[in-house]
Amino acid sequence: MEKKKICLVTSGHPPFDDRIFWKFGNSIKNAGYDVSIICSTQSIIKEVNGINIIGFDSSVLTPKMKINQFVNLIDSVKPDLLICEEMLPAFAAINIRKRNKHIKVFLDITEWYPENVALKLNGLKRWIKYFQLLLPYIFILNKVDHLILGEITKLKRYNFLAPFKQKTIIGYYPVLKFFNYKQPDITKENIVFGYAGVITFERGIINFFNALYSLADKYPQKSFTFLLFGKFTYAEEEMALKQIISNQNKIKIEFEDWTSYDKMSSVIEKMDICFDLRRRNFIYRNSLPIKIFEYMACGKPFIFSGIKPIRDELDIKQYGLLVNPDNDDEIFNAIEKYLHDPALAERHSENSRMLIEKEKNWKIESVKLIELINKFLTK
């Protein structure tokens, strides 16, 4: 019997994105389906882990041209089910379904849209862009066959925008086999504080650096390393941070280039305490950070901005510390709390790994994904 074909389509993510390739793609392939990934972020034709990767560079294309290119590539794959990551691929999928009624279309929602586009603008332009994108987005939400939500935080929004559309929550939790547990030792002389992901000042890099700088003054008997694992979004911020670093010698700063999802653990394992002090704007205030679960999978206590999605997801006192990212004293006191109580760091480490092993891992989420796909493709 010929395998059913499933195609994941993205206009905003790289083909080897954690969720698209390492989670959805591999799990769907292992469930016995023929899997392809189509992206507009990279020119590529390749087969990896039995998954067909097809991509084109859309940097000079208009939205209409991108949609047409998606239609052409999707037609070449002839899928039975399309999982779209953004609105443009979903428009292409809906166009194809007009000609091929049997095709099912899912929209996988992991970001606040259209806010993530509109909020980059100011004044009246922000609101114009917001409503320009919102109306076609509502159309798409109600045209696809099913909505996948990455977190429960977004459920209320989409129950309002698409009240009659069925929805499934499939979380961001880590693929446990890729993350090794390493308990931190806060009693040692050198403590490594780490950050993984996109490196921007909006993620509180400077605030945390300032806290460590003050810490070095208060604890001269200790040495502190600041490990930044990822890539800078803005060249000017990279230059500014490196200028700050060059003018001090109290803290050792190390940079690790970003690597593939299956190799991330080897860098996170070097960290003793992890952080993310993202600013509490609309997007960050209402989004569950993915990295928090990857830190927990490696058994790392963490210091994060205090936002509602984290408090709703975790009994926080069991796993880490939340602070006001704009309050230097709170950040400093949180770090000091771990330094003064190594046993607390150990408990948070053990509790975090246990929670990931028992509840918040991709193996559990993948069962929901495959059950959903099977339900639609066996109708």
The count of structural domains within the chain is 2
pLDDT at 182 over 80: yes
Tens of pLDDT, residue by residue over 103-156, are: 999 999 999 999 999 988 999 999 999 999 999 999 999 999 999 999 999 999
pLDDT bucket at 378, cuts 50 / 70 / 90: confident
pLDDT at 67 over 80: yes
Q: Alpha-carbon distance 277 to 151, whole Å?
A: 20
- Per the CB < 8 A criterion, the answer to whether 352 and 299 are in contact is yes
Q: Which domain holds residue 257?
A: 177-358
Q: DSSP states of 251-299 as a string?
A: SEEEEE----GGGTHHHHTT-SEEEE----SHHHHTS--SHHHHHHHTT
Rounded mean pLDDT of 324-350?
95
* 370 and 281 both lie in a single domain: no
Q: Alpha-carbon distance 366 to 379, whole Å?
A: 20
* 39 and 24 both lie in a single domain: yes
Closest CA to 235 of 267, 201, 260: 201
* 184 and 162 both lie in a single domain: no
The CATH number of the domain where 249 resides is what?
3.40.50.2000
Q: Determine the pLDDT at residue 6.
A: 98
* 107 and 194 both lie in a single domain: no
Which residues, listed in sequence order, are joined to residue 106 by a DSSP beta bridge?
83, 146
E strand segments, 277-370: 302-305, 320-323
Q: Determine the pLDDT at residue 379.
A: 61
What is the three-class DSSP state of 114? coil
Rounded mean pLDDT of 189-204?
93
* 206 and 145 both lie in a single domain: no
Burial class of residue 70, CB neighbours in 10 A (0-12, 13-18, 19+): buried
pTM: 0.94
Instruction: Reply yes or no: is the peptide bond before residue 114 cis, omega within 30 of 0.
Output: yes
- Per the CB < 8 A criterion, the answer to whether 332 and 214 are in contact is yes
pLDDT at 1 over 80: no
Rounded mean pLDDT of 92-102?
94
What φ, ψ does residue 172 adopt, rounded to 5°? -95, 10
Name the DSSP class of 178.
G
* 203 and 334 both lie in a single domain: yes
Q: Determine the pLDDT at residue 33.
A: 97
pLDDT bucket at 226, cuts 50 / 70 / 90: very high
Task: Please calculate the CA angle 294-300-301 and round it to the nearest 5 degrees.
Answer: 120
Tokens of 11: 């206009």
pLDDT at 248 over 90: no
* 194 and 312 both lie in a single domain: yes
* 116 and 187 both lie in a single domain: no
* 12 and 93 both lie in a single domain: yes
* 87 and 196 both lie in a single domain: no
Burial class of residue 350, CB neighbours in 10 A (0-12, 13-18, 19+): middle
pLDDT at 353 over 80: yes
Tens of pLDDT, residue by residue over 271-317, are: 999 999 999 889 999 999 999 999 999 999 999 999 999 999 999 99
* 264 and 312 both lie in a single domain: yes
* 90 and 232 both lie in a single domain: no
Q: Determine the pLDDT at residue 2.
A: 82
